[in-house]
Structure 1
Amino acid sequence: MRMCCKNFGLQLARQESARILPPGSGFADDQLPGSHPCRQADFTTPWFRHWMDQLGLQPVYHRKLWEYAYIAQTLHACGMLADGRRGVGFGCGVEPLPSLFAALGCQMLATDAPETPEIRSAWAETGQYTTALESLFVPGIVDRERFLCLVETGRIDMNSIPDNMQGYDFCWSTCALEHLGTLERSIGFILASLRTIRSGGVAVHTTEYDFSPGPTTIESGPTVFFKRHSIEALVPLVAEAGGEIIGLDHGLGDMPLDRHLDLPPHAPDLRDRYDAFMAQWADAHPTPNLKASVDGLPVTCFGLAIRKR
């Protein structure tokens, strides 16, 4: 039954791939995505196609790709991706965003967890842990000399961001904050990240989101999940910290793949179907999907965009 469901999902994704714009036809407009779950409609936009082209990635219905495009488009629409802008990334691992932002002229501090096994285990086990500046450099996105000039790395405990880490134009994290041990710590990180950016700056974070109707979820352990009520509880907390959540919308989408829930197993060997970069993610994100059953819970990604007043 599970394999029938997975095969159906793959066939549905192939059928729906015609909705994704062809190479070279995308463009980064001024559309601000807002704060919402991963939805199929975003994959059909000019901005999704544009950022996939800029990253040199084959666009498929994969929520990791959505995270990259969502973060880039949000920062672009807010005027953050320009020469001289300064950004800091948290839990960057081996993601391509520092290379992309450097190509656009931004000065970047790409950080990862300190050398403590308790904090980094969730990333290190899946090859997503930054070990050197070179591991963040993606040929084809940015010139190597430009990259080395604009990007530096650092070790930052996301549970304890230094008080003197301030003045950046923007900050971001890509599904990293759910690995801090508890939901309370994840919320604490979101609020603390606002201290790193200036007034008018933007914070963009993606995280795991449990959209089941019940009130309970996993709130402690290697990976925790946000729910609608925990996202809504952030609104006054963010306001108190001097920020405003942009365009909050909990809609899950109404297109075919928005209604498909991928079931375990999530680890077939699909490396040969990925390009060179996505092969690095094969263990952590092996099966392209927008929504999946994880520990019996329906889960997707949620994008959170915050503007600091």
Structure 2
Amino acid sequence: MPLSLFRSLARARRRGNLNPPAEWLRLQTREAEMLRWSVKVLGNDLVQRHYAAGLAGPAVALPEAPASAGLTSRTCRQADIEGPWVRHWCRALGTTPFYHRKLWEDCYILQVLWEAGLLAPGRRAIGFAVGEEPLPAILASHGVEVLATDIAAEDMRAQDWIATGQHGAGTDRLFRPHLSDRAAFDRLVSFRSADMAELPEALLDGSRDIVWSACSMEHLGSHEAGLAFVETAMRCLRPGGVAVHTTELNLDPEASTPDRGSTVLFQRRHLEALAARLAARGHRMLPLDDRHPIGVMDQFVDVPPFEEGRVPLGPISPPHLRLSIAGYPATSVGIVVVAGQRVP
């Protein structure tokens, strides 16, 4: 037991306020929850002030035309949420800019593909673990032919995703009526089951222009399984095609990191190793920009519970660009890989 904790417990016992250590620990737990709540309240106030200043939120204008940002592989950051490229893609997503890394992931994938000139009729895309993402509908609205995939519903690994409404089983939940009519959507979007840990050989035919996945490779059971997925999925692409994936990055490069289980956290060293593996097969991963930004939202680390409304005094929305995963500071990172000539 730390000395400060021992002294605090001893003082409480002398005052007669507490009986056994278990009671004292229950008190500490309750107060820790109140501190957690207080931090979230302050974070929510910070967000609302930024909205009122017109930096993000519902009053922000959403540009009709995209703007180049010169994106490479990159970590999520406050300046992106407040920038014109995220604002533009919020229009297609049917939302307003808010400080959440999942919004950043969708916008990042779309911006990378637009900058690569791939959001155009005649292009072919395949998405992995799509769940109910809006990306298939947005790509189709640009004339892209899309094959959306997710793990089979009867697979036991799918049960948690089904329970939380994050599993895909067809195209019905992918359709977005504000983007196109259903007939046009159905002409371009199809669905099939696919296990990211063991991609079907039929998909590895080098016929696609686009491969994407959003925050999925960290759920394959290990670092190696996630990296192997990215490497194997390159076989879906023709030369010059682009793969863009988002995943979880441990912001402490020197710390230990979860390397097995339902969610693993990658570090820079893992992505550097991936870049080398891809280069050995003739592909090119764009450089990783993981500089720590200076925005106040980039310093705020959200803590569980993350679901709005699961709080004692009402729903709030603190910043969620950084978060604690298993006690490690983490954020979303996007990686971009350009396919070279196929190397067996």
TM score, norm. by length of structure 2 = 0.81
Question: Are the aligned partners of 2:121 and 2:143 in contact in 1 as well (CA < 8 Å)?
Answer: yes
Question: Are the aligned partners of 2:234 and 2:339 in contact in 1 as well (CA < 8 Å)?
Answer: yes
Verify: 1:51 aligned to 2:89, yes or no: yes
Q: 2:150 aligns with which of 100, 103, 112?
A: 112
Give 2:39's aligned residue: 5
Question: Are the aligned partners of 1:5 and 1:263 in contact in 2 as well (CA < 8 Å)?
Answer: no
Per-residue Cα deviation, 1:200-253 (whole angstroms, up to 9, x for no partner) = 000000001111243421111111111111111111111113211113111131
Question: Are the aligned partners of 2:109 and 2:212 in contact in 1 as well (CA < 8 Å)?
Answer: yes
Give 1:15's aligned residue: 49
> What is the CA distance between 1:25 and its match in structure 2?
3.1
Q: 2:188 aligns with which of 146, 150, 155?
A: 150
Verify: 1:218 aligned to 2:258, yes or no: yes
Once structures 1 and 2 are overlaid, which stretch shifts more, 93-102 or 43-52?
Answer: 43-52
Give 2:227's aligned residue: 187
Aligned partner letter, 2:324? S
Instruction: Find the residue that maps to 2:289 and give its secondary structure.
Output: coil
Give 1:278's aligned residue: none
Question: Are the aligned partners of 1:38 and 1:252 in contact in 2 as well (CA < 8 Å)?
Answer: no
Cα distance in structure 2, aligned partners of 1:9 and 1:210: 21
User: Equivalences for 1:1-309 in 2 at 5 Å?
Assistant: 1-17=35-51, 18-20=54-56, 22-25=60-63, 27-165=65-203, 166=205, 167-269=207-309, 289-309=320-340
Once structures 1 and 2 are overlaid, which stretch shifts more, 19-28 or 183-192?
Answer: 19-28
> What is the CA distance between 1:134 and its match in structure 2?
0.5
> What is the CA distance between 1:288 and its match in structure 2?
5.2
Once structures 1 and 2 are overlaid, which stretch shifts more, 7-16 or 152-161?
Answer: 7-16
Question: Are the aligned partners of 1:32 and 1:78 in contact in 2 as well (CA < 8 Å)?
Answer: no
Instruction: Find the residue that maps to 1:70 and give its secondary structure.
Output: helix
Aligned partner letter, 2:325? V
Aligned partner letter, 2:182? R
Once structures 1 and 2 are overlaid, which stretch shifts more, 161-170 or 60-69?
Answer: 161-170
Distance verdict in 2 for CA 1:241–1:208, change over 3 Å:
same
Cα distance in structure 2, aligned partners of 1:182 and 1:122: 18
Per-residue Cα deviation, 1:59-100 (whole angstroms, up to 9, x for no partner) = 211111100100000000001100110000000000000000
Q: Identity over aligned residues, as a percent?
A: 37
Gapped runs of 5+ residues in structure 1?
271-281
Question: Are the aligned partners of 2:245 and 2:336 in contact in 1 as well (CA < 8 Å)?
Answer: yes
> What is the CA distance between 1:5 and its match in structure 2?
1.2
Instruction: Find the residue that maps to 2:331 and give its secondary structure.
Output: strand
Question: Are the aligned partners of 1:94 and 1:136 in contact in 2 as well (CA < 8 Å)?
Answer: yes
Instruction: Find the residue that maps to 2:303 and give its secondary structure.
Output: coil
Question: Are the aligned partners of 1:85 and 1:106 in contact in 2 as well (CA < 8 Å)?
Answer: yes
Question: Are the aligned partners of 2:297 and 2:319 in contact in 1 as well (CA < 8 Å)?
Answer: no
Instruction: Find the residue that maps to 2:301 and give its secondary structure.
Output: coil
Once structures 1 and 2 are overlaid, which stretch shifts more, 223-232 or 102-111?
Answer: 223-232
Question: Are the aligned partners of 2:62 and 2:90 in contact in 1 as well (CA < 8 Å)?
Answer: no
Aligned partner letter, 2:60? P
Question: Are the aligned partners of 1:55 and 1:141 in contact in 2 as well (CA < 8 Å)?
Answer: no
Larger Cα-atom Rg: 2
Question: Are the aligned partners of 1:205 and 1:304 in contact in 2 as well (CA < 8 Å)?
Answer: yes
- Report which structure shows greater RCO (CA 8 Å, sep ≥6): 1
Cα distance in structure 1, aligned partners of 2:225 and 2:285: 19
Cα distance in structure 1, aligned partners of 2:92 and 2:125: 19
| Cα RMSD (Å) | 1.8
> What is the CA distance between 1:125 and its match in structure 2?
2.9
Instruction: Find the residue that maps to 1:208 and give its secondary structure.
Output: strand
Cα distance in structure 2, aligned partners of 1:32 and 1:47: 10
> What is the CA distance between 1:116 and its match in structure 2?
4.5
Distance verdict in 2 for CA 1:218–1:88, change over 3 Å:
same
